[in-house]
């Protein structure tokens, strides 16, 4: 099956810093989503981005499908950005396959 | 526009018991998927329902079963609970086309003692 690897596993930032999270996947996919999981467990949709580049405020994402990776950029980080960021890819049958996540801690 | 809802929020059960979790999809969505998330891990796919039938299943034993109703809501049933079934159970909904964006509910946290 498709393998999803996220890096780094942990990231500690000072408020105001920028960061890049990476997601590598092992096969072609027809869906790629980035999520932020808050401390209560809710998965919040950040981007649906099987290819191309999107921006939403301080967050942006790029997926290069031909090279099987995606990047999530967080600029001017805030303490509320803390949590776990998941990349998930979809196979041909419609299920999502998640990476192990990147745990982000933003210090004031 | 109501998002995906799940009930109950928390549940405590004893080994060997059975449990039923419920999910209502986002308005306009007809496909429901269930995921299990153990502590410190990413969610793992259990199964997906479309048109009241199980369309795809992940690597979970038959103790895990489900149902989808005509209004697209869904139930997840787990029989003969094991301690290892303790986890956050997440429901996601999407439109029928495979590859479309999935939206998740707040989850049900199950503790088996």
pLDDT tens digit sequence for B44-86? 999 999 999 999 999 999 999 999 999 999 999 999 999 999 9
Partners of A83 on chain B (C-beta within 8 Å) are none
Low-confidence ranges of chain A (pLDDT < 70): none
Q: What is the dihedral of CA B100, B56, B42, B5, to 10 degrees?
A: 70
Partners of B109 on chain A (C-beta within 8 Å) are 41
pLDDT tens digit sequence for B8-50? 999 999 999 999 999 999 999 999 999 999 999 999 999 999 9
pLDDT at residue B1 is higher than 70: no
Q: Is B43 on the interface with A (CB under 8 A)?
A: yes
Cα(A17)–Cα(A70) distance, rounded to whole angstroms? Answer: 20
Contact between chains at B43 and A96 (C-beta distance less than 8 A):
yes
DSSP secondary structure letter of residue B9: S
Q: How far apart are the CA of B16 and the nearest CA of chain A, in angstroms?
A: 26
Would you state the pLDDT for residue A39? 87
The first and second tokens of residue B64, run together, are: 């895990």
Partners of A35 on chain B (C-beta within 8 Å) are 104
Would you state the pLDDT for residue A30? 87
């Amino acid at each position: 099956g498709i393998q999803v690897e996220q890096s780094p596993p942990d990231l500690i930032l000072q408020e105001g810093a920028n960061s890049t999270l990476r997601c590598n996947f092992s096969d072609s996919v027809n869906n790629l989503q980035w999520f932020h999981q808050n401390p209560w467990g809710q998965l919040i949709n950040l981007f649906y981005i099987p290819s191309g580049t999107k921006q939403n405020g301080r967050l942006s994402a790029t997926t290069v499908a031909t090279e099987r990776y995606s990047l999530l950029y967080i600029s001017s980080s805030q303490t509320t950005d803390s949590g776990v960021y998941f990349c998930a890819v979809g196979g041909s049958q419609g299920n999502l396959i998640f990476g192990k996540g990147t745990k982000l801690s933003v210090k004031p | 526009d109501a998002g995906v809802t799940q009930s109950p929020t928390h549940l405590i059960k004893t080994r060997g018991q059975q449990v039923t979790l419920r999910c209502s999809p986002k308005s306009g969505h007809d496909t429901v998927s269930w995921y299990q998330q153990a502590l410190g891990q990413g969610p793992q796919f259990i199964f997906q329902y479309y048109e009241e039938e199980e369309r795809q299943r992940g690597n979970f034993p038959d103790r895990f079963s489900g149902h989808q109703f005509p209004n697209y809501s869904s139930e997840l049933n787990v029989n003969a609970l094991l301690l290892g079934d303790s986890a956050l159970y997440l429901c996601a909904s999407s439109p029928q086309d495979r590859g479309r964006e999935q939206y998740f509910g707040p989850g049900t946290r199950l503790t088996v003692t």
